[in-house]
């Protein structure tokens, strides 16, 4: 299925809202952006379904607050992938820091390639799967072991 220009803008908005939720500048819960059986996969981390996604996004917010960590994910080079699906790909550059704002600006902490597999639902576009692969990882790149445990309802 080829996306119309209007559909591309709607799906692009979904992608950008996802990063706003991750960066805690948008209120909706992250799981609301996914289908009921949607999945978030980053390297070895995987959260699938509403329960795991809810636990992941809650744990992420709690840990950021505890560490006083702020992030901004810059999503660039968004483009539709050819084929029958409704998939987009993008490059994501992450800046992060700890403490009170304004935070001293350093080099990006990571850069990753992401693919967003989207589906139209009666409630609008949702993610079937978001998949990320790190290209560059800095010292403040999160340990995904804790994220995986949180998604499964466990602690590390």
pLDDT (tens digit per residue) in 28-87:
789 999 999 999 999 989 999 999 999 999 988 988 899 999 999 999 999 999 876 789
| Bridge partners, residue 126, by sequence | 119
Q: Which domains does the chain have, with CATH numbers?
A: 5-151 (3.10.450.50)
For 76, counting Cβ atoms within 10 Å of its Cβ (0-12 exposed, 13-18 middle, 19+ buried), the class is exposed
Q: What is this structure's pTM?
A: 0.93
> Quick one: which of 91, 96, 141, 138 has its CA closest to 112?
91
C-alpha distances in angstroms, 137 versus 21, 50, 65? 21, 28, 22
Residues 6+ apart with CB under 8 A from 115: 81, 87, 88, 89, 129, 130, 131, 132
């Amino acid at each position: 299925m080829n996306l119309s220009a209007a559909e591309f803008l709607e799906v692009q908005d979904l992608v950008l809202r996802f990063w706003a939720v991750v960066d805690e500048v948008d209120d909706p819960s992250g799981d609301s952006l996914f289908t009921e059986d949607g999945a978030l996969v980053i390297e070895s981390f995987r959260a699938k379904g509403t329960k795991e996604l809810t636990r992941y996004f809650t744990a992420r917010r709690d840990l950021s607050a505890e560490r006083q960590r702020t992030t901004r994910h810059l999503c660039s080079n968004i483009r539709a992938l050819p084929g029958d699906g409704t998939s987009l790909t993008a490059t994501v550059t992450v800046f992060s820091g700890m403490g009170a704002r304004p935070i001293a600006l350093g080099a990006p902490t990571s850069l990753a390639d992401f693919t967003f597999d989207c589906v139209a639902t009666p409630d609008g576009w949702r993610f079937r799967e978001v998949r990320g692969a790190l290209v560059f990882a800095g010292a403040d790149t999160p340990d995904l072991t804790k994220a995986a445990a949180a998604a499964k309802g466990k602690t590390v």
